[in-house]
Amino acid sequence: MSRLVRFFPLIILLLFVAVVAWRLVMPEDTKIRSRMTGQPVPAFTLAPTADGAPGLSSKNLATGQPRLVNVFASWCVPCIAEAPLLMELKRQGVPIDAIAVRDKPADVAEFLGRHGNPFERIGADPESRVQIALGSSGVPETFIVDGRGIIRYQHMGPIEAGDVPALLREWERAR
Amino acid sequence: MRHWLLVLALLAAPVMADSDLPSARWANEQLPDPRQEAAAKGLMEELRCLVCQGQSIADSDAELAGDMRALVRQRIAAGEKPEAVRAWLIDRYGDWVSYRPPVEPLTWPLWIAPLLLLGAGSLLLRKRFRRRR
């Protein structure tokens, strides 16, 4: 018994080192997923931002066909990285709308001019209200909304080349 | 070349991670009614910032935290109860967003632990004092 007790501090130390090493090797996933997946899109109406593209309202998202909603901003650097992949998704026939968070119309127009415009509609969300209503915690994020206006999928962070098949699959599934 | 551009873009992210727009109207401005402001402030101190995850939205300088403060103030000014605003946010981000954990089976250990530790501590003290006598 006393021998076991002698090793007790060492065991505690080893446990502590093990826990620290585990979290160093596999850092905690700090993404906060939206709880709105499976729920209808909350009602909203956003004014247009760039000249040309119409604004976006929740009614535009229940059109009988699943759509992507890209939450982006011209000031968001990872959004530049995902721009070509959104163009690719559009090329494959996926309809995409956008919510421009805390953005100026001129900046959005410049961003789209430079990186391409895959969006059918763009709503301006100057106080992040719709972003918060969707349960999105940053830019960029992409939601898949089915034909009845129900959120089916949330992709957090920039879309990378490897994410395109999963997005296409989820989009097909939402039909 | 493209890869290097991407690397550069990623390195530049922290510098350009903020928008050009000024803060929302009620992000940094108190409500005229002191009672409503007190209610809003109390709630803001118990809501977690989604960007800098260890801070409350009352303490955080992140733009999203400012927009959340504006949302809290607007809703409370419109007559909503703080608990209703909290519930609305929990519907979106889960219990995580609130610093006040709900009492439910999953969180029972959290609520019981202080009592158990206090009990264990007083037992330990009693034993030690007895030995000394």
- Searching chain A, which residue's CA lies closest to the CA of residue B95? A35
Q: Determine, yes or no, domain membership for B7.
A: no
Output the CA–CA distances (angstroms, integers) from residue A106 to A81, A98, B97, in the order listed: 20, 16, 34
Once rounded to an integer, what is the mean pLDDT over residues A47-55? Answer: 85
Confidence at residue B86, expressed as pLDDT on a 0 to 100 scale: 97
Highest mean pLDDT of the ranges A49-58, B15-24, B86-95: B86-95
Long-range residue pairs from B49-53, CB within 8 A, at least 24 positions apart, any chain: B50/A32, B50/A137, B50/A138, B50/B93, B50/B97, B51/A137, B51/A138, B53/A30, B53/A32
Q: Determine, yes or no, domain membership for B54.
A: yes
The pLDDT-based confidence of B32 (bands split at 50, 70, 90) is very high
Nearest to A131 by CA among A101, A96, A98: A101
Does pLDDT of A162 surpass 70? yes
Residue with tokens 């551009």: B5
Question: Which domain does A151 fall in, by range?
Answer: 45-173
Once rounded to an integer, what is the mean pLDDT over residues B14-42? Answer: 87
Q: What is the CATH number of the domain that holds B30?
A: 1.10.8.640
Does pLDDT of A11 surpass 80? yes
The pLDDT-based confidence of B12 (bands split at 50, 70, 90) is low
Q: Which tokens hold the place of B22?
A: 């000024």
Q: What is the ipTM of this complex?
A: 0.87
Q: Which tokens hold the place of B130?
A: 């007895």
Residue A101 with chain B: CB contacts under 8 Å:
19
Q: Determine, yes or no, domain membership for A17.
A: no
Residue with tokens 């018994």: A1
Residue B91 with chain A: CB contacts under 8 Å:
35-36, 135
Q: Determine, yes or no, domain membership for A5.
A: no
Distance CA B21, CA A144 (A): 28
Q: Higher model confidence: residue A21 or residue B1?
A: A21
∠ at Cα A13 (A8, A17), nearest 5°? Answer: 150
The reply to whether residue A107 touches residue B93, judged by beta carbons under 8 angstroms, is no
Does pLDDT of B28 surpass 60? yes
Q: What is the CATH number of the domain that holds A96?
A: 3.40.30.10
pLDDT in tens, A81-120: 999 999 999 999 999 999 999 999 999 999 999 999 999 9
- Phi, psi (deg, nearest 5) at residue B100: -100, 100
Confidence at residue A1, expressed as pLDDT on a 0 to 100 scale: 61
Q: Determine, yes or no, domain membership for B1.
A: no
Are B51 and B70 members of one domain? yes
Distance from CA of B23 to the nearest CA of A (A): 8
Mean pLDDT of chain B: 89
The reply to whether residue A32 touches residue B10, judged by beta carbons under 8 angstroms, is no
pLDDT in tens, B63-77: 999 999 999 999 999
CB A128 within 8 A of CB B67: yes
Residue A43 with chain B: CB contacts under 8 Å:
none
The string of DSSP letters for A32-99 reads ---TTTTSBPPP-EE-B-SSSS--EEGGGG-SSS-EEEEEE-TT-HHHHHHHHHHHHHHHTT--EEEE
Does pLDDT of B81 surpass 70? yes
Distance CA B76, CA B59 (A): 19
The reply to whether residue B71 touches residue A138, judged by beta carbons under 8 angstroms, is no
Which amino acid appears at position B25 of this protein?
A: R
Distance CA B39, CA A48 (A): 35
- Phi, psi (deg, nearest 5) at residue A165: -60, -40
CB B78 within 8 A of CB B45: no
Q: Determine, yes or no, domain membership for B5.
A: no
Does pLDDT of B132 surpass 70? no
